[in-house]
Homo-oligomer: A and B are copies of this chain.
């Protein structure tokens, strides 16, 4: 009978999946552009264009800066802002999300790029395929196993490492920028004597200007005049474009000084602008005059290479939820979109792309209406890289470093420490483990060990389920009622056995096991429960197993023939306890 029901359920599920696959509605959900484009209006166009251009003004300096974090030529970061953005416009379900290179992906990429830039394009391709696979197989639930403390710790460690790596261009010191936070800090102090005054001054001024502009909003109240309110709105756009403005000002300064043959700053240098070479990603490369084939390139990525696509999709979904609300985000669709973005990125020499926190926030604040905002952003960046690439020559590296450092400040999640300290010290341990391993050994190790620590926490918790109990007196009978809830895992079998024995032996001779909210139990738990009950019954205790589900009754009876005499049902247990007294 049960098998028959099982088969029916399975058939129904198959049928539902099949009908889902065939319906126009569900295909439309996979191409969200088919939903919003038909309703598109001129008003939307204007608002999307304003938002897109505002975001674009941040995308240009950030694209160049993040390409440099990864050790790639600047235009690679810009390409990554253009082409994946266009793909997201077709597949993306969240209007706010802005896809492009991010600091964290760039930092993860740096150690591979140090071998060959080809690894960046291959990373885009492999990450894209992996994310697409997760989406197609509906494996998004796997991301649930990476907890908030791990994500926070990882993000903070990444922000720390990226900031530290920018000390090198900010102070124009020598040496390497290191692959870890601690490596970058050590390098900084080792080479502190090589600090260049003018770059330092420009960098610090850039940071100051960015922070000032970020805070310098004009308050608007209902009493403000219409004209003043309009000015405040315009000023807000200036504030949002602050990255572009600071870069522009610094570049103008460098250009002006160059006219007088003064070059105090390290500059970005020549950019090979224009369009990228479209084509399949590189499946072999040359490192130190040795040709690596695809298999060898894969082994360079190793197992920790999986961290990149996981981080990409975690970042993007978290950002989408933060700006669109949890209900509006279709995780599977986001995976398909980000996967497609990265596969396309690999075809046009772009570094891996995902949702960017800073730019998504600007997009949202600029009042974007549909994913078409991406189009305008992409067009602006495309114009810049094709027509203005010569102008990028003059962007001082210290200013780019300043932009990155300021962007990293907002990524560091430190206030969560207080919440965890006050409420959940074990989660703080997980956070600390992720953060410090990430900062000291490498970001990938941090996230992997953090996830392992979380699994340990979850297992330890499953081994010690809460077993609330209370004593009651029915007639002249001292009873103890032990409530078992949820689904009991094998690891809790010892604990339950010990607790049942302890509560029974200290609290009276009739023991009620209240299973109204008991959902399932593993074989080992059931076997141990039977063992302790039979043991204690020999010592004169009476057990009543109250309101067990039929499946659980069957399990216990299967394990110990004749055990079903212990089960009692019904809304009240008192009647059964009184019944015991009469039957004696």
Residues of B within 8 A of A270 (CB): none
Band of interface residues on A: 35 or more
**Contact of B497 with A326 in the complex, beta carbons under 8 Å:** yes
Residue in chain B with minimal CB distance to A328: B535
Q: How far is the CB of A449 from chain B (nearest CB, A)?
A: 16
Residues of B within 8 A of A141 (CB): 463, 494
Residue in chain B with minimal CB distance to A494: B144
Q: How far is the CA of A501 from the CA of B520 in the complex (A)?
A: 24
Choice from B466, B495, B531 contacting A487 with Cβ under 8 Å: B466
**Contact of B491 with A554 in the complex, beta carbons under 8 Å:** no
Q: Is A528 an interface residue (CB 8 A)?
A: yes
Q: How far is the CB of A51 from chain B (nearest CB, A)?
A: 23
Q: Is A306 an interface residue (CB 8 A)?
A: no
Residues of A96-150 whose CB lies within 8 A of B: 141, 144-145, 147-149
Q: How far is the CA of A522 from the CA of B425 in the complex (A)?
A: 11
Q: Is A458 an interface residue (CB 8 A)?
A: yes
- CB-CB under 8 A for A486 and B458, given A419-B559, A554-B422: no
Q: Is A455 an interface residue (CB 8 A)?
A: yes
Residues of A183-222 whose CB lies within 8 A of B: none
Q: Is A301 an interface residue (CB 8 A)?
A: no
**Contact of B458 with A489 in the complex, beta carbons under 8 Å:** yes
Residue in chain B with minimal CB distance to A140: B494
**Contact of B517 with A468 in the complex, beta carbons under 8 Å:** yes
**Contact of B465 with A487 in the complex, beta carbons under 8 Å:** yes
Q: How far is the CB of A385 from chain B (nearest CB, A)?
A: 39
Q: How far is the CA of A420 from the CA of B526 in the complex (A)?
A: 12
Choice from B145, B483, B559 contacting A517 with Cβ under 8 Å: B483
Residues of B within 8 A of A145 (CB): 459, 463, 491
Residue in chain B with minimal CB distance to A464: B487
Q: Is A573 an interface residue (CB 8 A)?
A: no
**Contact of B555 with A491 in the complex, beta carbons under 8 Å:** no
Q: Is A574 an interface residue (CB 8 A)?
A: no
Q: Is A454 an interface residue (CB 8 A)?
A: yes
Residue in chain B with minimal CB distance to A531: B326
**Contact of B326 with A528 in the complex, beta carbons under 8 Å:** yes
**Contact of A535 with B326 in the complex, beta carbons under 8 Å:** yes
**Contact of B490 with A461 in the complex, beta carbons under 8 Å:** no
Residues of B within 8 A of A454 (CB): 490
What are the interface flags for A556-567 relative to B under an 8 Å C-beta threshold, 1 for contact and 0 otherwise?
001100000000
Residues of A527-546 whose CB lies within 8 A of B: 527-528, 531-532, 535
Q: How far is the CA of A532 from the CA of B327 in the complex (A)?
A: 8
Q: How far is the CB of A307 from chain B (nearest CB, A)?
A: 19
**Contact of A535 with B327 in the complex, beta carbons under 8 Å:** yes
Q: Is A423 an interface residue (CB 8 A)?
A: yes
Residues of B within 8 A of A527 (CB): 148
Residue in chain B with minimal CB distance to A489: B458
Choice from B144, B419, B465, B528 contacting A486 with Cβ under 8 Å: B465
Q: How far is the CA of A462 from the CA of B491 in the complex (A)?
A: 13
**Contact of A148 with B490 in the complex, beta carbons under 8 Å:** yes
- The A contact surface, by secondary structure, is helix
Q: How far is the CB of A327 from chain B (nearest CB, A)?
A: 6
Residues of B within 8 A of A80 (CB): none
**Contact of B427 with A523 in the complex, beta carbons under 8 Å:** yes
**Contact of A423 with B554 in the complex, beta carbons under 8 Å:** yes
Choice from B420, B461, B487, B501 contacting A327 with Cβ under 8 Å: B501
Q: Is A485 an interface residue (CB 8 A)?
A: yes
Residue with the highest number of chain B CB atoms closer than 10 Å, among A148, A420, A494: A148
Q: Is A263 an interface residue (CB 8 A)?
A: no
Choice from B420, B517, B532 contacting A485 with Cβ under 8 Å: B517
Residues of B within 8 A of A32 (CB): none
**Contact of A558 with B419 in the complex, beta carbons under 8 Å:** yes
**Contact of B459 with A523 in the complex, beta carbons under 8 Å:** no
Residues of B within 8 A of A494 (CB): 141, 144
Choice from B326, B465, B466, B555 contacting A424 with Cβ under 8 Å: B555
Residue in chain B with minimal CB distance to A431: B523
Q: How far is the CA of A321 from the CA of B534 in the complex (A)?
A: 14
Q: Is A325 an interface residue (CB 8 A)?
A: yes
Q: Is A493 an interface residue (CB 8 A)?
A: yes
Q: How far is the CA of A148 from the CA of B524 in the complex (A)?
A: 5
**Contact of B462 with A462 in the complex, beta carbons under 8 Å:** yes
Q: How far is the CA of A551 from the CA of B416 in the complex (A)?
A: 17
Residues of B within 8 A of A554 (CB): 422-423
Residues of B within 8 A of A10 (CB): none
- CB-CB under 8 A for A423 and B558, given A326-B531, A327-B501, A497-B326: yes
Q: How far is the CA of A555 from the CA of B425 in the complex (A)?
A: 12
Q: How far is the CA of A242 from the CA of B423 in the complex (A)?
A: 64
Q: How far is the CB of A565 from chain B (nearest CB, A)?
A: 19
Q: Is A519 an interface residue (CB 8 A)?
A: yes
What are the interface flags for A383-416 relative to B under an 8 Å C-beta threshold, 1 for contact and 0 otherwise?
0000000000000000000000000000000001
Q: How far is the CB of A524 from chain B (nearest CB, A)?
A: 4
Residues of B within 8 A of A325 (CB): 531, 535
Residues of B within 8 A of A501 (CB): 327
Residue with the highest number of chain B CB atoms closer than 10 Å, among A468, A495, A524: A524
**Can you pick out 5 interface pairs between chain A and chain B where the beta carbons lie within 8 Å of each other?**
A144-B495, A325-B535, A326-B535, A419-B555, A423-B555
Which are the 3 A-B pairs with shortest beta-carbon distances? A147-B490, A148-B524, A466-B519
